[in-house]
Amino acid sequence: MNNTEIRLRNLVKAQQEVCEANFDKMWKVIKQITHVSDTYLEAFKEIYPKLISGRYQSKDIRFIVEHNPPLDTSVLRQLATAIEINREQFFSHQRLLVARHNEHKTFIQSFPACILLPNAQEIKITVIKSDHTADVYATGKENI
């Protein structure tokens, strides 16, 4: 009986650590890609005016049409994909944390554990959610 409670308690604690590690990884990936895109955009802002300045200074060659370098948006698509993948992965880890927490809580509240393990305490977990979500659940209203 006590071994089951200990196993469940350890599973919950371990899953909480997995959630924290995954959240940290998620933000590092997003920050790293954002840094790359910020660096790229800054470099593009620096180079672009120099590339096109002076092209149309001469009145003799106005008939020549040049193709100016486009801004590569693949980094932004990569960022959007990374955010989506990492958020979904984080959600899966959070869902498993809640399920394991519920399994432990049900075990310590059910017979015979509630009698044989009277000092077993519910484990506190942290489920990450936005202020928007907290407000919606507090008020029961979502106004988009």
The pLDDT value recorded for residue 55 is 58
Considering the entire predicted model, what is its pTM? Answer: 0.75
Average pLDDT over the chain, rounded to an integer = 87
16-to-5, 45, 54, 70, 121 alpha-carbon distances in Å: 17, 43, 59, 45, 17
Mean of pLDDT values over 22-33: 91
Rounded to an integer, what distance in angstroms lies between the CA atom of residue 45 and that of residue 42? Answer: 5
Q: What is the pLDDT of residues 35-63, one digit of tens each?
A: 877 787 777 777 767 666 665 555 555 55
Residue 127: its H or E element? none
If you compute the radius of gyration of the chain from its CA atoms, what whole number of angstroms results? 27
Give Cβ neighbours of residue 120 (< 8 Å, ≥ 6 apart).
5, 108, 113
Q: What is the pLDDT of residues 90-107, one digit of tens each?
A: 999 999 999 999 999 999
Q: Is the model's pLDDT at 75 over the cut of 90?
A: no
Q: 4-34 burial string, b = 16+ CB within 10 Å, else e? A: ebeebbebbeebbeebeebbeebeeeeeebb
Q: How many CA atoms, within 13 angstroms, populate the side-chain half-sphere of residue 32?
A: 7
Q: Is the model's pLDDT at 76 over the cut of 90?
A: no
Rounded to an integer, what distance in angstroms lies between the CA atom of residue 75 and that of residue 80? Answer: 9
- Separation of CA 51 from chain center: 37
